[in-house]
Amino acid sequence: MNEINIKVNGMMCGGCENRVKNALENIEGVKNVTADHTTGNVNVVCDAVDVKTLEETIEDIGYEVIRND
């Protein structure tokens, strides 16, 4: 089981949190998602899911992923 933290820009309310959570929970292998619009933090507990897949899913629904490259 992996725990992945992603910083997201653009979540403004609880509805945004739910949108991100629902999109990520539809990915096979994702077990639990928590999102906090006040901090921009998204925490994903999953089995062998590629971080890039999670990030692309968030971006596909209109939010910006903050990367530390």
Phi, psi for residue 67 in degrees, rounded to 5:
-100, 150
Q: If you average pLDDT over residues 18-22, what whole number do you get?
A: 98
Domains and CATH numbers, the chain: 2-66 (3.30.70.100)
High-pLDDT (> 90) share of the chain, %? 93
Q: If you average pLDDT over residues 30-36, what whole number do you get?
A: 98
Please list the alpha-helical segments (H only) found in the chain.
14-25, 51-60
What pLDDT, on the 0 to 100 scale, is given for residue 69?
Answer: 59
pTM: 0.93
What whole-number distance in Å separates Cα of residue 27 and Cα of residue 54?
A: 8
What whole-number distance in Å separates Cα of residue 10 and Cα of residue 40?
A: 8
